[in-house]
């Protein structure tokens, strides 16, 4: 299972774009990259998933370089309500993936 490394915490301000990078040097061919958001005392919420290049949905974009050894979650124009912990996970959807959760990145948005 590929281990992921993320910054422990980040600060930003309302209205800014926030980019959180995750390293996964041992990513396997069948692995997908998934990002979750978690608020205190709540279950994680799916944000976005990708395999390569760029994926965009209504809340975020995910950039994955050609070697797939890292990925960047981009949150456009953040607000105070985006303050949460963000987890990057790597795994094969065909198996019991997302077995190992890293520490995540605590994102704090300031007014």
Partner 1 sequence: GAVVSQHPSRVICKSGTSVKIECRSLDFQATTMFWYRQFPKQSLMLMATSNEGSKATYEQGVEKDKFLINHASLTLSTLTVTSAHPEDSSFYICKWRRGHNEQFFGPGTRLTVL
Residues that bind partner 1 (CB under 8 A): 32, 36, 41-46, 49, 87, 93-94, 96, 98-99, 101-104
Q: Is the CB of 51 or the CB of 63 nearer to partner 1?
A: 51
CB of 15 to partner 1, least distance (A): 26
Both tokens of 63, joined, read 């950039």
Given a contact cutoff of 8 angstroms between Cβ atoms, the answer to whether 46 and 98 are in contact is no
The nearest distance, CB 16 to partner 1, in angstroms, is: 26
| Shortest Å distance, C-beta 10 to partner 1 | 17
Burial 28-45 (b: 16+ CB within 10 A, else e): eeebbbbbbbbeeeeebe
Q: Which is nearer to partner 1, 15 or 52 (CB)?
A: 52
CB atoms within 10 A of CB 78: 18
As measured in angstroms, the least distance from the Cβ of 105 to partner 1 is: 11
Q: Which is nearer to partner 1, 13 or 101 (CB)?
A: 101
β pairing state of 105-110 and 9-13: parallel
């Amino acid at each position: 299972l590929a281990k992921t490394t993320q910054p422990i915490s980040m600060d930003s301000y309302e209205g800014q774009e926030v980019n959180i990078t995750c390293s996964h040097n041992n990513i396997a061919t069948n692995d997908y990259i998934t990002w979750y958001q978690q608020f205190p005392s709540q279950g994680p919420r799916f944000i976005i998933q990708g395999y390569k290049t760029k994926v965009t949905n209504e809340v975020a974009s995910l950039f994955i370089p050609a070697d797939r050894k890292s990925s960047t979650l981009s949150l456009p124009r953040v607000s105070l309500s985006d303050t949460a912990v963000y987890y990057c996970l790597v795994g094969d959807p065909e198996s019991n993936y997302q077995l190992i959760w890293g520490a995540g990145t605590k994102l704090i948005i300031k007014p």
